[in-house]
Structure 1
Amino acid sequence: MKKTNKPISSLRRIKLICSFSLFILFGFGVQGQSLYTLKGIVKDYLGTPATGVTVQIKNTNQGAITDFDGNYELNVSLEPGDYVLVFRQLGLSTQEVKVSLANQTEVVNDVEMAMDILGLDQIVITGAGALTSKKQLGNTISSIKGGDISQSATVDITGALSGKLAGIQVTQNSGDPAGGISVRLRSSSTVNGSSDPLYIVDGIIVNNNSVDVLGTTSVVQNRLSDISPQDIDRIEVIKGAAAAAIYGSRASNGVVQIFTKKGQSGEPVITVSSSVNFNSLRKERAYNDEPFEWASTDITVLDKVEATRYNYQDMIFNNSTGTDHYVSMSGGKGKTDYFGSFSYLENDGILKSTSYQRQSGRIRVNQEINDWISASFGTYFSTSKSKDQPNGGYVAGVLPTILFSDNTIDPTPDADGNYPTMTFYPNILEYIETFDYSQKNNRNISDLQLTLKPIDGLKVSYILGYDNSESTGNTYVPIGTTTIDLGRASNTTVTTSQFNSDLNGSYKFDINDIFTSTTTTGFSWQADKTNLSSISGSGLALGVKTTNGAASITTNESRSERSFWGGFLQQTFGISDKLFVTGAIRLDGSSVFGADERNQFYPKASMSYLVSEESFWKDTFGETLNSFKVRAAWGQAGNLTAIGPFDRLSNYAAISIDGTSGLIAPTELGNENLRPERQTEIEFGVDMSLLNDRVGVELTYYKQDIEDLLLARTLSPSTGFGSRVENVGTMTNKGFEALVTATPIQSNDFSWSVTGTFSTNKNEVNNIEGDQFGIGNFGFSVAKNGEALGVFYQGYYARNEDGSLLLTDAGLPQREKGSYDADGNPVAERDANGQPSGANLSKVIGDPNPDFIASLINEFKYKNFSFRMQFDAVQGVDLLSWDTRMLYRFGGGEQTAKELRGESVRGTGTANFSIAESYIEDGSYIKLRELSTSYLLREPIQGVDSVKFTLTGRNLLSIDNYSGYDPEVNMDAQSNGSRGGVMGLVPIPRVVKFGVVATF
C-alpha cells in the first residue's frame, strides 16, 4: 500500500480514474458510514518489515496487504464500535488486534508477528467455504505460495508443484510447449479409472481432462494449462480419503485447491510483468557416427563400405524462445474490492514447427452487501492454440522416423521438392515442412458466491460454478507421403461443460471456557456433459487441406452426461484449544451406477492433539521441542469415475449395411449391480518444531485399502458375451511422508532456509481374475496379482548359473525358454547342448513405480537479493525404452556403431531387439529442477512502488544413467496405470527465463 504523505502523481490520478470507472461498471457505490483510516507497520520475528501480510477486519471482506516496508493502510466506512484486525501470512503466527472506533478518524497499530514454521495457525479451506486452522486437522494439508508458482518458469500450474510437497509426484510427460503433466497424490487408487486429484479453483470444480484431439497420445495437453500461473494466490493440497469427507468421493485421490488473487481495500495497485525465456535441448542422444556400413545383410559377413552418416537431431531440434506478458489491477473502497488481469503467453518448442500461444483474462469482484451478507463474482476466460507434430507412442512421427531409420540417408528434398524415403514412415523434414497438426482451446470458468452470517458463529455459503472448455484438433497429411499416399485431413472437437452447486453451513460456538463446538453440513450437486464429433477424410484433392476435398469420409459422434450428488454432516469438538476430535458422515451418489448401488455412505473420524500445550510438556521438553502435535485420521471414499456413463449397460453398436441401419451385439455384457470402488485409509502423523522454532518436521504414515475394483471378468462362451465388468480385485497402498523445514540463519540482512521432502509408497494389486491383464505399452505393462500396478511383464535373458548371459554358438544373447510351474512361475529348461529349450518365458522385468521421491530446496536472501535452488529426485524406477529397442536394430543407434567398430558381435543389436529385458533401463534421476535469483528495487522512481528482476532456470541438469534424452517422459501420457514407456517423445527442454515485475 502507498504512504499517505506522497503527493498525488499523474500515474496515481490515472489509477484513481480507473478505480472509479470499475465501480461505475459494476454498479457498486460507497455506503454512507463514518470514514476511518486504520494503519501501522507490521514486522516479523526479526524486527524486519513483513511484506505481503494480509490485514483484514474480522468477519468482513475489508482488508489490505502490507507493502515492501511493512506498512498497511485501510480506509474504511464503518459504524463506530469494537472490531478485530487479523494479521496473517504463511510462516508467521496469526495475530489478532482489537480496535475501538469512535470519534477518532485515524487508528495506528504496529504489530510484530512470531514465527510459525509448522503453519499451525494457518487458516485453510477444508471444503466449500469451510475455514479452519491447520492445528485442528487430523490429516495433512500443505500450502504453496503463489509467488513460488509464478516464478517456477512453467506454463502449467501443476508443473510448478513438483518437489514442493511431500507425497506428490509430478511428471512432465513430454517436452512439447504445452506437454501434459501427471500428478499423483500418494499413488494410484484404481486400475481402469483415473487417479488424478480433484482440482478446485476458487471453490469451483474444474476440468483437467487430457483429451486426444489429434490422434497422437504424446501431445495431449492438460486443461489446467489454460490458467495463467501468475493469477494464483496460493494452492492448498489435501491428500487421501480425508479430502473426500467434505468434497465427496470425487476427491478420493486428494484435492488440489487453487485460490486466485483478489482485491483489497485501498487505492488501485497495478502489477505489470514481462519475461522472455530461452529453450534448448538439454542432452543429445548418442547416435551412429561411424563412416561405414555393412556390405551385406548377412550378419556373418563383416565386410564394410564407406558411408556418410547424418545427425538427424541437428535437423529437427533448435533453440527457441518464448514470452509471457501480464498485467493486473486490484483495489477497493468501502465494502467493494476488485481484481482484474490479462496475460499473453507465446512459447516455441525445441522441436521445429511446434509452438503454443495462450491469452487469458480474469475478473473478481467482492461486495459486502450489509453486515451479514456478502457476494463474490468471478469469471476467467482463455483461448489458446498450438502447432504440433505427431510423435511417439503408438503413431508415426518425426522422432519415430529417426528410430526406424539407418542414418545414411540425407533427408533434404531434391531440386523438384521430393523428399527421399527414409523408412516406412515419412521423411523427418517432410513432417516439419508440410504436415499441419494444430489444436485450439477455448475456456471459461465463472462463479457466483454468496456468504451469509446472520448470527455470531453461523456461516452459510452458496457457490454456483460453471466451467466450459472446447478443444478442437485439425490434422493435414499431404498427398504423396510414405504412410498415406492420397493424403488425409481430420477435424475433432470435444466440448465439456461442468456445473457445480454447493450449499454449506457451519456453526461454531463455545460450550464453556474449555469446550468448543463446530458443526458443518452441506449438500452439493455436480453435472458434466461431453460432446465429441470428428470427421476424417482420405484421398484429398490436390491443394485441399480440409475434409470436403476428400474422396472417402468417415464420421464419429458421441455424447455423455453424468451427475454427482452428495451431502455431509461433520462435527468437531475442541478441548482447551489443544485437543480436537472430528467425526463426519457423507452420502455420495453418481448416475453412472445402477439405481440400487449409486448411493453410498462414507464415514470419517480424525483427532489432533497439541501435546506441547500441556504444562508437563512445557516444563520438560518445551525448550527443545517447542511444539509437538500428534494426529490421526480414518476415512472412506468411493471412486465415482472408474467407469463411464454407459459402462454398466450392454451397449450395442450401430452399423449400416447397404444403406440399411442396424445394431451389432457387444462383446461386453452390462451389469446394473456395479457399485463404486471403495477406499479405506488410515493415517498417523506428528508435527513438531524444535530449536526455537528454527526446525519444523512433519511425519506421516498412511495405509490405503481399495476394494471392489471395477475390472472385466471373462465369461463363458455360452453366455454370448466375452466379458463383463464386475466388482473384483483389490489394491493397497502403504507409504511414509516426511517434510522438514529449517531456517539455519535468520538475521536482518541475511537468511537461509531449507526445505526437504521424502516420500515412499508400496502399491500392490490382488484378486485379479486370470492373474493379470495388459494395460498399456503394447501390453507389456500389466496389472498382476501380488505386484504393483503397471509392472513390465515380458521376455528376459537366458543366463548361466553365475548370472552371466547364456550366449548362442555365434556369441549372441538369447531369450530364456522353458515352462511354468503350477503357481505360474517360469522354470528355465536346457537341451543336451546346454541351450534354452521349450516355450518362450516371461516374468516381471521392471517396475515404473519409484521406490521413493525426494526434493531439497535452499533459499538465500541478502538484503534485496534472493537465490533459490531446488533439486528433485526420483529413485528406484524402471523404464521400458522403446527408443533403445529400435536403435538396436535399425542402424542409426550406438549399438550398430559398436558392431561396426568390432566392440560387440555383429547381430547383438538384432538379438537384443527380441528380448524385452534388454531395453529395461534405470529411470532414476536427480534433477536441478529450478535455479533462480532475483533483485528487488524499492521505489526506484516516483510513482513506482517496486521493480523486481528475476532470472530462472528450469531442468538445467539431470543426473541419471538413462541412455535417452530424459527419463521423466511417458508415451502413454497421463495414463493411470501404464507408466514408464518411452518411444519417440520430445525431450523436456532446458529453460532459462529472464523477467521483470513492476508494481505501481
Structure 2
Amino acid sequence: MNKTNENLSFYKRFRFMSSVFVLMMLGISLQAQTNSYTLKGTVTDNVGPVPGVSVQLKDTNLGEITDFSGNYILKVNLNPGNYTLVFRSLGLVSKELKITLTNESQIVNNVTMNSDILGLDEVVITGAGALTSKKQLGNTISTVKGLAITESASVDITGGLSGKLAGIQVTQNSGDPAGGISVRLRSASTVNGSSDPLYIIDGVIVNNNSIDVLGTTSVVQNRLSDISPQDIDRIEVIKGAAAAAIYGSRASNGVVQIFTKKGQSGEPVITVSSSINFNSLRKKRAFNEEPFEWASSDITVLDKVPATRYDYQDMVFNNSTGTDNYVSMSGGKENTNYFASFSYLQNNGILKSTDYERQSGRVRINQTINDWASASFGTYFSASKSNDQPNGGYVAGILPTILFTNNTIDPSADADGNYPTMTFYPNILEYLETFDFNQENKRTISDLQLTLNPSDGLKINYILGYDNSESLGNSYIPIGTTTIALGSATNTTINTKQLNSDLNASFDKNINDNIKSTTTGGFSWQTDKTLLSSISASGLALGVKTTNGAASISTNESRSERSFWGGFLQQTFGIYDKLFVTGAIRMDGSSVFGKDERNQFYPKTSMSYLVSEEKFWKNNFGSSINSFKVRAAWGQAGNLTAIGPFDRLSNYSAIGIDGTSGLVAPTRLGNADLKPERQTEVEFGIDMGLFDNKIGVELTYYKQDIKDLLLARTLSPSTGFGSRVENIGTMTNNGFEALITANPIQTNNFSWSVTGTFSTNKNEVNKIEGEQFGIGNFGFSVAKNGQPLGVFYQGFYARNDDGSLLLTPGGIPQREKGSYDVNGNPAPERDASGQPTGTSLSKVIGDPNPDFIASLINELKYKNFSFRLQFDAVQGVDVLSWDTRMFYRFGGGAQTGSELSGESVRGTGAANFGIAESYIEDGSYIKLREVSASYLLKTPLQGVDNIKFTLTGRNLFSIDNFSGYDPEVNMDGQSNGARGGIMGLVPIPSVIKFGVTATF
C-alpha cells in the first residue's frame, strides 16, 4: 500500500467515526428519560469504609466512585423498572445489587464487599475498551495501584514498578537525575530488535524510545520520564504472546497499560502535594590511599618515593536535593466530570552540575451523553530539561577520567584558570566547570474516545490517540581541552509523532442459563514518523558556544515512517460461570516488511477453570482452599520492530564531493522477502486462595519458542555485498513465576499484608551464522549458539589442575593459551616448564542474565498510620566491570595501593588488566528498594478533608559483593542484548523523601 492510499484509507475511517459521533449526538433527544433518581449509600469491607469503589449501572455508561468515606451518590434519569448496580474495587470481590425504581426518587443501599486476595473478580482491560474479569483469563495479568507508584519515590513510572509484580525485571541503568530504565517482562525475545513492552496510556500507544541526543548512552532517558507518577490511577501489566491477541504483535513483549485519574460528579475536590528529597552517594569505591609512588616504571624495581594522593570522588560527588509539587482538581455535575492537574519537579544529581526539571499538566473530561453513549477527551503536556555530563560507557567522561588517572595529580586550575592534564581525557573539574551538555524535551499526548452501548450486551469503543515528542540535545566543549583542543559544539533534534486509531466492539449474550457468550472484534491502525537532524562543529570561534563560525561543520538528517495495521476476532464461552474457553485469530501487518510478507496471521486459545466452584471441591477442600483456578494459554505473535523502516532495502548513502552530489553503494544487500520474527508461547498456571482468603498464591510456567530471528548473514564477495539480513535465528525462553500474598491480620484498627514474588527464566539462542557475533561491551557481549543472549566471551585465567591460578615465575597471573578442538572448545596447552603456550584462548566467562529475581513487601496499617518495606533481589548475575579493569592499571585503584604496600606482587594489576575474567564480578544484590511511613490526619481544619504526611527512603542500602558503586547500572543503556557492562557510570543514589498531601 502506498503512502497516498494509506492516508486515504485512514481519512475514510476517521470520517466514518465522525459521522457516527454526529448521528449519536443528534439522537440524544430520542432517549426516553422520564424520572430522576438519586442512588446513594455506603460501601464497606471487613475493615471499614472503602474509597475508590466503582459503582456502575449495569449495561450503561452511568457510574460513580465512592469518596474517602466510602459514600456514593449516583444521579440518573431512567424509566421505572428493574436495574442492577455493579460494585467493583481492586482487592475486593465484585458485587451486583438488584434494585427496583418506582416513584421514590431516592434509593439507599449500603453494601459490604468481601476480600478478593487473588483479584479474580477484578475487572481488567484486555484491549482498547475490552473489559473482562480476571477469572476468565487463561494468561496472567497483574494490577498495581497508582498510590504504590507515587509513594515509591521514583521519578519515573517504570522505576516504581520494580518488585511489584512477578516476572518483571526493572533495571535503572544510570544514577543520573532522569537516568534511563529498562523493563523486561519475562525475558528478551529478539537479538537485534527491542524487547520493551508496549506502553499504553488511556488507550494511546505511546513512545517510550530511549534516544541518545548527546552522543553518550549513559545519560539516555526514557520518554516515560515525561509523565508524572502522581497522575496514575493504576497500571495493568499483561505478559507474553497472549497480550498480542487483541493489541497486536507490537505487544509480543507484553503490555503495560497505564490508566490516569478521572473526575467524579460532586463538589470539586482539590489535592495539593509537595515534597522534598535528599539524594546521596550510597557508598564510595575503594581507591589508592598509599602516600607513595613507584620511583620507576620498571615493575622489577620496587623503590618508592613520597606522593600526595587525592580523593577525586569527594570532588565530583555531592549530596543534593529535589522537590516535587503537584495540584489537581476534579469534580463534575450530573453527566459531566473533569480532572485537571499540574506538576513541577526539580531534582539535582549526586554528580555535580547535573539536574533534571519537568513541568507537566493534564486535563481529562468525561461526558455521559445518555444511558447508551459517552465520550471522553484527554490531553497531557510536559516540558523538561536536564543538565548532564558525559559519563563513560563508550565515550570520555568525568568518572572515566578518574579511572584512567593516577590520583597523584591535583586537578585544581592554576591562577590563570588553566587546568592540569590528568590523562588523555579532560580534567574532572574542567568538565564540571566549563562543559555544557543539556537536553530539552517537549511532549503532548492526546486522545478522543467514544463508547456506545446501543443495545443490551453490545459495546462499541473507538479511540483516536496522538503522541508527539521532541527532544533537543546541545553539547559544548570549550577550546583547549585534552581531547578536543579546538573545541566542539553539537545540536541534535529528534521529533517523533505517533497516531493510533482503534475501533473495537464486544457483544455479550446469554445463550441459556448456563452458557454465556462474549464475542469481541476490532481493527487498529497506527503510524509513526521520526525526523532526526543534527549539526556538529569543531574548531570553534573564540568565546562562541554554538556552531556559528566554526572551522569545520557537518550536518546529518534522516527521516523514517512506519505503519502498522491489524484486526482480530475473539470468542469466549463461559460455562456455569466457572469454565471459560477463549479462541482468537489476529492479522497484523507492517510496512517495514516486503509486500508479500507484511500480513501475518496469529492464533490464540486459552482456558480458565474455577475448580473451586464445583460441589465436590467445596465439600472436601473449600474450608482450607477457598478458591482454586487452573489456567492455560497458547498464542503466537510477531515482532514488528526487529528491523527499521528501510532495512529490507539496499540503502545507498548520499555524499557530497567537491561540490557534486553522489551516492555510496551499501555493504548490506536488501531483502524484500523478510518476514516478522514469530513467537509461540504456551503458559500454564494455578491461582489459589487459602484459609478464608488470607493467603493467595499464583504460580505460572511458560515456554517461548521464537523463530525467524532477523540476523545478518555473510555473503560471498562475488555478490558485491558483505551481508544480508535474513530470517535465520531461533531463541527459547523457559520460565517460572510465583506470587504469594497474605493478609495475616485484618481488623478495624490494624492490618498486615505480605507479598512475595519469585521469577526465573532460562534463555538460549541458536542458528547464528558463524557461531557468534558481538552485540556490545566492546564486543565482549555476544549472541552465541547454545548460550543465553549477551553472555561475556573473552580471555580467562590459566589455572592448575586444582583450580588455583597458574602464575608466572615472577608470581603474576596470566591468560590461558592453547588451541581449539573440533567443537570450538578451548584446549589449554603447556610447554616443557609447565607454562601456557599456543594461542590466547577465549570462552564464555560470565552471564548477565540472572538466575532469578525476587521481592518481598510488607505493609502494616494501624489506625491512621501506615508502614511499607520492600526488598528487591537479583541473584546469579555476572557483571563486566570495566571500572575494575581500569583501576588495575592506571594507579588510582586499590590494586596499585596493595602493590605499593607489598600485599601483592608488583605487576599483578597490569596482568589482570589483560585478562577479562579478572573483571567479571558477581552482580547479585538484595536492595532495600523502598521503605516508607505515613500518617493520615483526617479533617484537621474546616474545609480540609485530610492531610497525609509521608517519609520515604529509596535504595538506602544494598547487600552485594560488588567492588564498585552499584551492580545494577549498565553502560549500554536500554540495549536489548548488551547487559551488565559498567564503566564510568553515575551510581544510583540513595533517596530520602518527605512529602505532604492535602485534600480539600
Does the TM-score normalized on the shorter chain lie above 0.5? yes
Q: Which amino acid aligns with 2:847?
A: D
- Aligned pairs for 1:182-221 within 5 A: 182-221=182-221
Counterpart position of 2:791: 791
How far apart, CA to CA, are the structure 1 residues paired with 2:240 and 2:901?
55
Q: In the alignment, residue 579 of structure 1 is paired with which amino acid? A: L
Shift of 1:776: 0.2
- Under a length normalisation based on structure 2, what TM-score does the superposition of the two structures give? 0.96
- Aligned AA (1:898): S
Question: Secondary structure of 1:540's partner?
Answer: coil
In the alignment, is the contact (CA less than 8 A) between 2:506 and 2:521 conserved in 1?
yes
Given the superposition, is the C-alpha separation of residues 788 and 57 from structure 1 closer, same or farther in structure 2, using an over 3 Å criterion? same
What is the SS of the residue equivalent to 1:272? strand
Asked if the contact 1:61–1:366 (Cα under 8 Å) also holds between the matched residues in 2, the reply is: no
Are the aligned partners of 1:74 and 1:266 in contact in 2 as well (CA < 8 Å)?
no
Which stretch shows the higher mean deviation, 57-66 or 391-400?
A: 57-66
Query: Paired residue for 1:40?
Result: 41
Alignment of 1:605-754 (within 5 A): 605-754=605-754
SS in 2 for 1:364: strand
Q: Is this contact kept in 2: 1:63–1:265, CA < 8 A?
A: no
- Match for residue 997 of structure 2? 997
> Aligned ranges for residues 712-861 of structure 1 at < 5 Å?
712-861=712-861
Match of 1:867 in 2: 867
1:322 CA drift (Å) = 0.5
Q: Which amino acid aligns with 1:742?
A: A
Distance 1:699 1:45 in 2: 27
Residues 42 and 110 of structure 1 are in contact (CA less than 8 Å); yes or no, is this contact kept in structure 2? yes
* Equivalent position SS for 1:277: strand
- Name the CA distance, whole Å, in 2 between partners of 1:900 and 1:224: 48
Aligned to 1:738, the other structure's residue is in SS state strand
SS of alignment partner, residue 455 of structure 2: coil
- CA deviations 1:271-330 (Å, max 9, x no partner) are 111111000000110011111111111101111111110100000001101000111111
Query: Given that residues 793 and 843 in structure 2 are in contact (C-alpha distance below 8 angstroms), is that contact kept between their aligned partners in structure 1?
Result: yes
Contact 1:608 1:631 (8 Å CA) reproduced:
yes
Q: Residue 692 of structure 1: CA displacement?
A: 0.6
CA distance in 1, matches of 2:408, 2:99: 81
Counterpart of 1:490 in structure 2 is 490
Is 1:982 aligned with 2:982? yes
Q: Which moved more, 1:242-251 or 1:266-275?
A: 266-275
CA distance in 2: counterparts of 1:657 and 1:480, whole angstroms = 31
Tell me the amino acid that sits aligned with residue 624 of structure 1: S
Partner of 2:590: 590
Q: Measure, in 1, the Cα distance between the counterparts of 2:942 and 2:766.
A: 68
SS of residue paired to 1:857 = strand
1:401-440 aligned at under 5 Å gives the runs 401-440=401-440
Identity value in percent:
80
**Number of residue equivalences:** 972
Q: In 2, distance between residues paired with 1:813 and 1:81?
A: 88
* Residue number in structure 1 paired with 2:165: 165
Could you say which residue in structure 2 is the equivalent of 1:10? none
- Deviation for aligned residue 1:85: 2.2
In structure 1, stretches of 5+ residues that fail to align are 1-28
Q: Is the 8 A contact 2:141 2:238 kept in 1?
A: yes
Are the equivalent residues in 2 in contact too, given 1:403–1:886 (CA < 8 A)?
A: yes
Following the alignment from structure 1 to structure 2, what is the Cα–Cα distance between the partners of residues 473 and 80?
A: 63
Give deviations 1:147-189, integer Å, cap 9, x for gaps. 0011100110000000000000000000000000000000000
- Indicate conservation of the 8 Å contact 2:61/2:372, yes or no: no
Report how far residue 579 of structure 1 moved.
0.2
Out of 50-59 and 325-334, give the one that drifted further. 50-59
CA distance in 2, matches of 1:338, 1:164: 30
Per-residue CA distance 1:739-783 (angstroms, 9 max, x = gap): 000011111111110000000000000010100000000000000
1:433-491 Cα shifts (integer Å, max 9, x gaps): 10000000000000111111111001111111100000000000000000000110010
1:915 counterpart = 2:878: no
Query: What secondary structure does 1:548 align onto?
Result: coil
Q: Is the 8 A contact 2:46 2:748 kept in 1?
A: no
* Structure 1 length-normalised TM: 0.96
Task: Indicate whether 1:136 and 2:132 are aligned.
Answer: no
Which one-letter code corresponds to 1:722 in the other structure?
A: G
Q: Is the aligned partner of 1:940 residue 2:943?
A: no
Alignment partner of 2:421: what SS?
A: coil
Contact 2:419/2:430 (<8 A) preserved: yes
Q: Which residue of 2 aligns with 1:517?
A: 517
Shift in Å, 1:33:
6.7
Residues 437 and 207 of structure 1, relative CA distance in 2, 3 Å threshold: same
In the alignment, the residues of structure 1 paired with residue 565 and residue 554 of structure 2 have an alpha-carbon distance, to the nearest angstrom, of: 38
The answer on whether the counterparts of 1:75 and 1:333 sit within 8 Å (CA) in structure 2 is: no
Q: In the TM superposition, what whole-angstrom CA distance separates every residue of 1:867-899 from its partner, at most 9, and x where no partner exists?
A: 000000000000000000000000000000000
Q: What code does the residue aligned with 1:72 have? A: Y
Corresponding residue of 2:571: 571
Tell me, in whole angstroms, the C-alpha distance in 2 between the residues paired with 1:306 and 1:650: 62
Q: Which residue does 1:6 correspond to in 2? A: none
SS of the equivalent of 1:995 reads strand
Report the secondary structure of 1:619's partner residue: helix
Aligned match of 2:16: none
CA-to-aligned-CA distance 1:646-683 (integer Å, 9 cap, x gap):
10011011112211111111110000011100000000
Question: 2 CA distance for matches of 1:90 and 1:131?
Answer: 14
Code of the residue aligned with 1:960 in structure 2: it is D
Where in structure 2 are the equivalents of 1:234-253 lying within 5 Å?
234-253=234-253
Please state how far the C-alpha of 1:34 moved relative to its aligned partner: 4.5
Distance in 2 between residues matched to 1:267 and 1:504, nearest whole Å: 34
AA aligned opposite 2:119: G
Q: How does 1:354-503 map to 2 (within 5 A)?
A: 354-503=354-503
Residue type matched to 2:807 in 1?
L
Q: CA deviation at 1:95?
A: 1.3
- Structure 1 residues 91 and 691, CA gap change in structure 2 (3 angstroms): same
2:80, 2:945 → 1: CA distance?
Answer: 33
Structure 1 Cα separation of the partners of residues 359 and 59 of structure 2 = 36
- For residues 155 and 323 of structure 2, the distance between their equivalents in structure 1, rounded to whole angstroms, comes to 11
- CA gap 1:291/1:616 in 2 versus in 1, 3 angstroms: same
Q: Which residue in the other structure is 1:959 paired with?
A: 959
1:96 and 2:111 are equivalent in the alignment = no
Q: 1:76: how far off?
A: 4.2
Offset at residue 622 of structure 1 (A): 0.7
Question: Does the 8 Å contact 1:76/1:333 carry over to 2?
Answer: no
Cross-structure match for 2:87: 87
| Contact 2:59 2:456 (C-alpha < 8 Å) held by counterparts | no
